[in-house]
Structure 1
Amino acid sequence: MLSGTQLSDGMRSVFVELLVHGPLSRAEAARRLDLSPSALTKLTKPLLESGFLLRQPVGDRGALGRPSQPLAVDPSRAALIGIKLTEDELFAVRTDLRAETQSELRRPLASHDVDDIVTCIREVVRELNGPGTAAAVVGISLAGTASGGDPVVPTSPFLGWRNVPLGNLVAEATGIPTVVENDVRALTAAQQWFGAGVGRSSFALVTVGAGLGCGLVIGDRLVRGAGRGTGLVGHMAIHDSGPLCEMGHRGCARAYASSAAIRRAVSGILDRPELTFEACLALAAEGQPAARRIFEDAGRALGQVVATVANITGLELVILSGEAVAMYDVCADAFDAALAAHTHWTSTPVDVVIKPFTFNEWARGAAVIALQHRILGSGA
């Protein structure tokens, strides 16, 4: 497991149930997992003996019958390190087993050279570990086609990488097992176990920022798909007479709703090339007509993307996030109208939750996806 403890499939199920939903009474844990009391006792015994599970204080001692002593995972039993790589920075966190952040830091990337980045990661891991117990696993998330079961990053467009064995290189440099995963899937994993997705069998995380991404959980499983290519919604067709994206696609979602496309459109129409995305957003919030119109177009595109994802998968919830998600505040009406217009008439309207995460939250996602792989293996 995380420190040599071997887990059977049944033990994994019990551990994850208590990690995500605990503390739980023995009776409730057995009911949720469809186990007999004796089977639950057998599965929890080695986890209690190894210190991964704790017996919690009994709540109501005045209740009739013998009170049930709740069980919970000891979150301090192991530490995790999560790292998010962007085009020019590294964000890192150290967390406990429940992904509660203990410390965090950020570093600029001197270059995109693989050796330089591995050296930076090694130094960050050393600093986060400090003089105490070393983390049990390192998770790294980045934009690209990485998948946690494979240490090789086939492509990472922002870093200009192809077929980089990043997982192996970091594991060798730090001496700690390392998992590398696509950043949107890693953030989805954090929401699945410790965020808005807890208790939801099927949901999607749609991110908007430099691009558009989509992470999917269907039937309680994080979807990866063949070729690591799930959730590629950025170039979904929105309107055949719309603007061009940087790949030459006309009227795709990315051409309307990415932060770069919005900045280009607003700065171009106002002849103000110095404008940042944040400045464009401020103009729209103040009611500047051109900026407002461009953000409303982006909101409509995003609403259509969410409706299409929901129509295809039949999911219960969409979490909307990413570094540009603050634009929802100025285009909510357009988003909601497009979502309603494009949702299939037989479908129940999907719940939408807005989560304005920081890059450190993405790093926390990397820690969670690494934890999932260490507990569940490649089937996480």
Structure 2
Amino acid sequence: MKKVLFATTALVMTAGVAAAEVAVSGDGRMGMIYDGNDAQFSSRARVTFTLTGESDAGLSFGGAFRVDQESDYTAGYAGSERSAARGTAGAVWISGTYGKLSMGDVVGAAEAAIGDLPEVGYTDGEFGGDIEEINYLVGDGENEDQGPTILYEYTVNNISFFASATDGSNNSTYGVAGSDEGEDVPSDSVAYSLAVKYEGSNWWAALSYSEADVYDLDPTSTSVTASASELALAGGASFNNFSVMATYLKYDDRFVSGPVLGDDEFIVGGFAVDATLEETIGLGATYQMDAILVEGFYRKDKYDLIGGGSESYDSFGIGADYDLGGGAVLAGGIIDTDYLDDTVADIGVKFKF
């Protein structure tokens, strides 16, 4: 695959000092999205800076961010925009004999070990609300207002260890205390995640545990008295041209609101919630044959309603990519999910520069 790469090299006159490099790459896409009612045009272009270097002692270090991440106001609050300069977008890292340490907008330990379900479509699942992304309790958007996330990774033989945390200062805990996305729920405690993964010749298995604070069930209180927790177990295998994966997540005290409508509401930390997310089951499969890649996933989320009873939300998607060569891929996908109560689709071309 051809790549257009612009690089600058800083040459230091001191003997033994390695060169540093700044590389510029990009991605783009153009096509159409069907939202269940109408078809619309959709396009995007982005530029990414990747910075790498090496110390005298052989430590590798670097950073990466997109141009649009330097001033991202999608959070919706004055003074709370996400940016690489603030450590809430992009990432920096350092690695050596004793593992890799990353900080910024990085995934939590659970997602680093397990990952998400396969992305389908030319928008990589965005047209379906990114439903293929597992709702991990720590990192990767779930705690994006908690400041930078720190992630440590270390591999010995076939076993990899992961640990991550957010510092918990001046943060909100969307998805933990039951607030709607964007609501500011203050907390000063750390959210953390631990994971371990074993990789065999053509299979892998992973286990993770995550925890983040929730609030006193007294409607007049905002003190932290309990924690939401997440236990995840996953595995996958590859044979011939097929790859499959399965994941199971069990939650405790994870209050939610929004798409789930119960018979009654409950107050947690001053916010109305209507359910607790109890478990998530995910299945994914891919098939690669020459230039054709077929991907699919199934997901089920189970909720216990505050007013009594339970509900399950099902989602599935399937898509195909055809590699045109030179960094261009023709792709399309279909997603049906109870969260949207509709079937959506997309088709278009995506590029890598």
Give the structure-1-normalised TM-score.
0.24
Larger helix share, 1 or 2: 1
Name the structure, 1 or 2, with higher relative contact order (CA <8 Å, separation 6+).
1
TM-score when scaled to structure 2?
Answer: 0.25
Q: Which structure carries more strand by proportion?
A: 2
